[in-house]
């Protein structure tokens, strides 16, 4: 039967055929996005004689439409456009992790999240407390934006130092109550299209881990291989965050000669990120397989801006599992001392 991802694509195509602004068109659109977050396959509900109205954004009318699709053996599974291609659904993520429970049990860290120091919705201590309550982490990285991204309230060097001092106090508070969690001083630093950082190297050198990320000219259709190579040769950061810059149904992201990009990353000792936010899933499974074969390290981060988004780490873990990525090259599965040592060696090279 059709998967939730295929149902989502059929719903998206039905939206295009519906009358603009109609109630049915709006219902189709809501259900198309919700299908990616249904916790179980719609087909399994049908097989169990359970109503599809158990699924979010599915009312009686839509339940009938989807049931018809599921029972129609002549329907060809639709191929989504690039804007919607290669995204895992929550049901796929859940099934993948259920087959490999040790991947969650042994996960040590989430290495991208945001607070009110930039554009996050919650203050530092609330983010730390939520991460500690949700997962049995050894460490997390607070990666608020840098000054070049003004639209996201990016920090300058003075604010970064103030945040670092506050993180130091948080770590003291955690240690005082015998928590195993350690908070890393980090940043999601803005990279120009030329691969240059927007922060002084001296300020970055005081951090535990530096993420670099492109935030401009992300809709270019031309090959961007040279752009990536220049950035990866910049010695001021350790991890290239959300490398393609794609966003589900909004932005396809950049294209490049990926084997060359991954070869350069391996040569320069850089890690590439799996951005685990469901709308990003960047790198996707296909690119992760290429990165795996090139010997690249990866980092997994939720890119959480809301507390509930800290749960999204499962999407990143599932992508790593499905790409058969070796855990010995995933920062999130290494001891804290090993990650700090790895970052220090990259900075000193």
Residues 6+ apart with CB under 8 A from 37: 56, 89, 90, 278
**For residue 275, what is the DSSP state?**
E
Counted residue by residue, the chain has a size of 349
Rounded CA gap, 129 and 122, in Å? 11
Residues 6+ apart with CB under 8 A from 229: 260, 261, 264
Phi, psi for residue 19 in degrees, rounded to 5: -65, 130
Low-confidence residues of the chain, pLDDT below 50? none
* DSSP, residue by residue, 291-333: HHHHT-EEEEE--BSSGGGGGGHHHHHHHHHHTT--GGGBGGG
Give the predicted TM-score (pTM) of the model.
Answer: 0.96
Task: Output the pLDDT for position 348.
Answer: 76
């Amino acid at each position: 039967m059709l998967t939730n991802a295929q149902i989502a694509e059929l719903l998206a195509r039905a939206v295009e055929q519906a009358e603009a602004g109609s109630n049915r068109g709006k219902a189709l659109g809501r259900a198309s996005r919700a299908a990616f977050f249904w916790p179980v396959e719609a087909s399994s509900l049908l097989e169990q004689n359970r109503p599809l109205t158990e699924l979010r954004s599915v009312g009686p009318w839509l339940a009938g439409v989807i049931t018809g699709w599921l029972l129609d053996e002549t329907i060809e599974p639709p191929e989504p456009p690039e804007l919607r291609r290669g995204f895992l659904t929550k049901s796929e993520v859940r099934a993948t992790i259920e087959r490999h429970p040790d991947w969650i049990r042994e996960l040590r860290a989430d290495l991208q999240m945001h607070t009110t120091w930039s554009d996050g919705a919650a203050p530092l201590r609330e983010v730390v407390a939520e991460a500690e309550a949700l997962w049995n982490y050894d460490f997390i990285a607070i990666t608020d934006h840098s000054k070049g991204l003004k639209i996201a309230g990016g920090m300058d060097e003075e604010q970064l130092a103030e945040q670092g001092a506050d993180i130091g106090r948080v770590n003291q508070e955690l240690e005082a109550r015998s928590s195993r969690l350690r908070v890393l001083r980090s940043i999601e630093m803005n990279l120009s299209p030329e691969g240059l950082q927007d922060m002084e190297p001296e300020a970055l050198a005081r951090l535990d881990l530096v993420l670099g990320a492109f935030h401009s000219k992300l809709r270019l259709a031309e090959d961007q291989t040279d752009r990536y190579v220049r950035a990866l040769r910049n010695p001021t950061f350790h991890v290239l965050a959300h490398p393609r810059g794609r966003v589900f149904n909004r932005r396809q992201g950049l294209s490049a000669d990926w084997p060359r990009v991954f070869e350069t990353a391996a040569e320069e000792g850089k890690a590439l990120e799996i951005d685990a936010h469901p709308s990003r899933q960047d790198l996707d499974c296909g690119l992760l397989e290429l990165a795996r074969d090139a010997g690249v390290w990866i980092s997994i981060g939720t890119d959480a801006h809301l507390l509930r988004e800290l749960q999204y780490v499962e999407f990143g873990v599932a992508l790593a599992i499905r790409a058969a990525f070796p855990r010995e090259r995933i920062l999130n599965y290494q001891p804290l001392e090993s990650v700090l040592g790895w970052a220090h060696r990259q900075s000193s090279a």
